[in-house]
């Protein structure tokens, strides 16, 4: 009963155009299931891809750092698909095992101290205002 | 009725020892309210500080990247104190306005696409297994 | 080792009475696994069903809108079971593919802008107070 | 522009009846702002109070344990009002400073290890299935 | 130390152009603090506004329903600014007190049953696959 | 492509030492997959185990209460692995079916009332300040 992924062969022209741009930009033979599902709403597909392409491009932060930030958000939210796919993207961008290990350690500590700050109801320091 | 921050002057010796180590390690004149509140449970104070010191030390990832990951988690969780204090720490570690802007943009997009992946119930690609 | 669903045939009378009311109210031949699991605590089964029946009944909001709100919460929380079952309920209540697509788009944008508001630490406007 | 709390003096009879039951059950001179706000929707006020009264009553778990679980959820969700009010309720039910300290420590560790489990994408052990 | 809102008078031309479009589209004399803060990163300002304008426009769902979905996500995430500003937007789009009351009731129940589904580890029904 | 669990036989000496301490402390023949995955970063393995051992030890709160708090956090975060493994740990520590049922009921109610407090934007009572 859930929706099924839309393959390029069955896609409307405006969907195929986005798929083609993803494949060309990322130099991959096919797009991930994420895009094949979001393709059920072509406007969301186009807007999401163009936003992501702009946001994840090299800039003041390099692509590996951006992918690790993406992983940090996905792990905090518990999105299994996102963790899997962005861990893969981060490794493709050069993330080593040691970097992955430290990334997980920081994510874990941040989630812990966030709750200590909540639970102790810490007020913002004058020096931080 | 909530607990009050514990100042160094009123602190037990094992608390003061941790405060001293924080001040020396970070080269700051006083510790933040976070530590003065967690000091109500000296074991948690000591364990949390020692864990944080180990995790945030330079390693395979540099301290600025670690602070930005901390901000990404804190923003996703909506912890106002943590956002404020770790934004400050990231800026102290060299984060520019442009980097902050891109950090926010990546966090925003990741939170959006996490929910698109959830909502469309995307299955993990064979190539990612 | 986890608990198993309780089928009507094996259920205590007070559980069966709730199952019967769910089936009659929704005009379905059997109850979902959700209810067969919560049936392990009959008080919670009864209270949850009666609360849900009251809350989801037609009122100032129509049932389709209520089901879409339920989906929005479930997607934000990442509850896979809830997303699946309430997407099904929303479609049964008349949700079209186009409505589902827009629902996902709004959920995605809201999760993105929620984090931009957190990250930029936006203060409430005077005009909104 | 936001809604204002409804005081007993200005409340409709069905609201006042709930307020009276809260005051009698908890032996307090007035109800908290939470109830005065939810009173804007009398059905939700009545249903929420009756559900809470049933769920928080002494049973297989004692009231202090139930209040600490309430705090754990509220800290994890970052609900400032709920943390404040249920910390107060837990202290009224007998929670000591040492118990509060351990409660915070467990909440912190659970939030950390939840993310390590997510991030490392740990599969469920055969022995736990 | 945190960033300050950027007023139109002090804004770069590309920021002012977005502000002008927001004011014209919404027929308001000034933009909210949200936009004045995101204006620190003009690319994010432009992309977020254009995305939001597209997503929130009337379509298969009417604007009031979209604003209520926005509120549901914001309440679930606990974003105080977003709750305040989108409650205001929903009321401007016609939300009555009775609709607000039912909206809150549905959000509450969904958050409760999401956790019951998680906690009882409910498996997806064959009929929902 | 994801990491694989590290078995004791293939583990470095510092990893095996932690595994041995877990097995001895918990009196179990093998460690869970959680530890075999975190073992990819031996520093995180050691720090997390030692922290958890300290935090979960009997103290002002008994081990069963601590495990139930762990479950409450895990259910709220929706971490399936953590729910499964800590439900098992709580049952091993003596949790009855009736206690599990009440635990779920409290977690559910807390998640509901957290959102009602958010949505109604309840201000903290003077008596709670």
**A88-109: pLDDT as tens digits:** 999 999 999 999 999 999 999 9
CA distance linking residue C65 with residue C56, whole number of Å:
10
- Is the pLDDT reported for residue F1 higher than 80? no
What integer best gives the mean pLDDT of chain B? 97
- In order, the DSSP letters of A78-94 are T-HHHHHHHHHHHHHTT
Give pLDDT tens digits for B64-113. 999 999 999 999 999 999 999 999 999 999 999 999 999 999 999 999 99
Dihedral class, residue C94 (left if φ above 0, else alpha if ψ from -120 to 50, else beta): left
Two tokens at E110? 């969904």
Q: Which of F3, F108, F125 sits opposite D32 (nearest CB)?
A: F125
Q: Is C1-57 CATH 3.20.20.105?
A: no
| DSSP per-residue string spanning chain E | ----PPPGGG--HHHHHHHHHHHHHHT-SS--HHHHHHTTSHHHHHHHHHHHHHHHSSSSS-HHHHHHHHHHHHHHHT-HHHHHHHHHHHHHTT--HHHHHHHHHHHHHHHHHHHHHHHTTPPPPGGG-
Q: Which of B74, C89, B46 is nearest to D105 (CA)?
A: B46
Nearest CA in chain C to B71: C119
CB < 8 Å from E in window 51-70 of F: none
High-pLDDT (> 90) share of chain A, %: 98
Tell me which chain C residue has its CA closest to the CA of residue F83: C2
Asked if A125 reaches chain E (Cβ–Cβ under 8 Å), the answer is no
A15-26 tens-digit pLDDT: 999 999 999 999
Domain locations in chain F?
A: 1-57, 60-129
Count of A-F CB contacts under 8 Å: 24
Whether the per-residue pLDDT at C1 is higher than 70: the answer is: no
**Cα F47 to Cα D36, D112, E82, F35, distances in angstroms:** 46, 12, 38, 12
Chain A residues whose CB is inside 8 A of the E129 CB are 1-2
- Euclidean distance between CA atoms A56 and A67, whole angstroms: 8
Query: Which of the residues B111, B114, B121 would you substitute to probe the C interface, choosing the one with the greatest number of C C-beta atoms within 10 Å?
Result: B111
**Cα of F120 to nearest chain B Cα, Å:** 18
Nearest neighbour of B105 by CB, restricted to E2, E44, E77: E44
**Looking at beta carbons, which residues of chain B come within 8 Å of F129?**
1-2
Closest partner CB to B83 (pick from C112, C113, C118)? C118
| Cross-chain residue pair F108–E112, CB shorter than 8 Å | yes
Q: Does E128 touch chain A (CB under 8 A)?
A: yes
State the average pLDDT over residues D58-67: 97
Check CB contact under 8 Å for C87 and A41: no
> How far apart are alpha carbons E126 and C59 in whole angstroms?
32
**Distance of alpha carbon A85 from alpha carbon A52, whole angstroms:** 14
* Candidates 1.10.579.10, 1.20.1290.10, 1.10.760.10, 1.10.3720.10; CATH matching A58-129: 1.20.1290.10
Distance CA E104, CA E101 (A): 5
F27: pLDDT strictly greater than 70: yes
Mind telling me how many Å the CA of E43 is from chain A's nearest CA?
Answer: 9
| List of residues 6+ apart from E86 with CB closer than 8 A | C110, E67, E70, E71, E74
Taking CA–CA distances from C1, the nearest residue in chain F reads: F88
Residue of F nearest to E122 (CA): F80
Residue E66 has phi, psi (to 5 degrees) of -60, -40
Residues of F in contact with D118 (CB under 8 A): 79
Torsions phi, psi for F105 (to 5 deg)? -65, -45
Residues from chain B contacting residue D108 (CB–CB below 8 Å):
44, 48
Question: Do residues B92 and F85 make contact, with C-beta atoms less than 8 angstroms apart?
Answer: no
Alpha-carbon gap: F110 to the closest alpha carbon of chain B (Å): 18
CATH architecture of C59-129: Up-down Bundle (1.20)
Instruction: Tell me if B33 and A124 make a contact (CB, 8 A cut-off).
Output: yes
Within 10 Å of residue B3's Cβ, how many Cβ atoms? 16
Provide the CB-side half-sphere exposure for C6 (13 A, CA).
21
Selection from D116, F23, E88, E51 nearest residue A109 by Cα: D116
The alpha-carbon gap from C97 to the nearest alpha carbon of chain D, in Å, equals: 31
Q: Write down the pLDDT at residue F2.
A: 84
Contact E43, E17 (CB under 8 A): no
| Residue of B108, B118, B119 lying closest to C112 (CB–CB) | B108
Find the CB nearest C104 among A41, A77, A79: A41
Q: Is the pLDDT of residue F85 over 90?
A: yes
CA distances from A65 to A27, B115, C115, D39, E125 (A): 20, 22, 19, 48, 40
Do A7-57 and A58-129 show the same overall fold?
Answer: yes
Backbone angles phi, psi at C5, to 5 degrees: -60, 145
Mutation site, B1, B37, B73, interface A, largest A CB count within 10 A: B73
Query: For residues E64 and B69, what is the distance between their CA atoms, to the nearest angstrom?
Result: 36
CA neighbor of E12 nearest in space, from E33, E43, E34 = E43
Determine the distance in angstroms separating the CA of F36 from the nearest CA of chain D, rounded to an integer: 9
Instruction: Look up residue D128 and give its two tokens.
Output: 């736990």
Contact state of A114 with B60 under an 8 Å Cβ cutoff: no
Q: Residue F94: which region, alpha, beta or left (left: phi > 0; alpha: psi -120 to 50)?
A: left
8 Å CB contact between D112 and A111? yes
CA angle F78, F82, F88 (to 5 degrees): 125
Residues of A in contact with F38 (CB under 8 A): 104
Angle at D78 between CA D22 and CA E80, to 5 degrees: 90
Q: pLDDT band for position A64 (50/70/90)?
A: very high
The mean pLDDT of F87-99, rounded to a whole number, is: 98
Mean pLDDT of C59-75: 98
Closest-CA distance of chain E to residue A76, Å: 13
Give A26-77 as a DSSP string.
Answer: HT-SS--HHHHHHTTSHHHHHHHHHHHHHHHSSSSS-HHHHHHHHHHHHHHH
D101 neighbourhood in chain B, CB within 8 Å: 40-41, 43-44
Quick one: DSSP state of residue C98?
H
Looking at CA atoms only, how far is residue D9 from chain A in angstroms? 33
Residues E47 and E14 sit within 8 Å (Cβ to Cβ) = no
Which fold would CATH assign to domain A7-57? AhpD-like (1.20.1290)
Q: Is the pLDDT of residue F87 over 80?
A: yes
Mutate to test the interface with A, among B114, B115, B124, B129 (most CBs of A within 10 A): B114
Rounded to two decimals, the ipTM of the complex is 0.97
Residue numbers in B near F55 (CB within 8 A) = 47
The Cα D10–Cα D8 span in angstroms is 5
Element (H, E) at F43: helix F42-56
Domain F60-129 has CATH 1.20.1290.10: yes
Q: Helix (H, G, I), strand (E, B), or coil: what is residue B95? A: coil
Q: Residues 21 to 50 of C: which have CB under 8 A from any A CB?
A: none
CB neighbour list of residue E87: distance below 8 Å, 6 or more residues apart: D2, E71, E100, F121
What part of C 70-109 touches E (C-beta under 8 Å)? 70, 72-74, 76-77, 79-82, 84-86, 88, 96, 98-99, 101-103, 105-109
pLDDT tens digits, chain E, 129 residues: what are they? 689 999 999 999 999 999 999 999 999 999 999 999 999 999 999 999 999 999 999 999 999 999 999 999 999 999 999 999 999 999 999 999 999 999 999 999 999 999 999 999 999 999 999
The yes-or-no verdict on residue C44 having pLDDT over 70 is yes
| Alpha-carbon distance E42 to nearest alpha carbon in chain B (angstroms) | 9
Sign of CA dihedral B118, B122, B123, B126: negative
Q: Count CB atoms within 10 A of the CB of residue D80.
A: 18
B44 vs D contacts (CB less than 8 Å)? 101, 104-105, 108
Residue for token pair 């049936």: C39
């Amino acid at each position: 009963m859930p929706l099924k992924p839309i393959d390029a062969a069955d896609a409307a022209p405006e969907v195929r155009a986005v798929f083609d741009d993803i494949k060309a930009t990322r130099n991959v033979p096919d797009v991930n299931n994420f895009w094949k599902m979001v393709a059920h709403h072509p406007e969301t597909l186009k807007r999401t891809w163009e936003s992501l392409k702009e946001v994840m491009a090299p800039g003041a932060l390099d692509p590996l750092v951006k992918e690790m930030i993406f992983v940090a958000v996905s792990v905090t939210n518990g999105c299994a698909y996102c963790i899997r796919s962005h861990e893969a993207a981060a490794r493709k961008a050069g993330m080593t095992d040691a970097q992955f290990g430290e990334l997980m350690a920081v994510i874990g500590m941040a989630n812990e101290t966030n709750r200590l700050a909540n639970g102790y109801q810490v007020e913002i320091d004058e020096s931080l205002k």
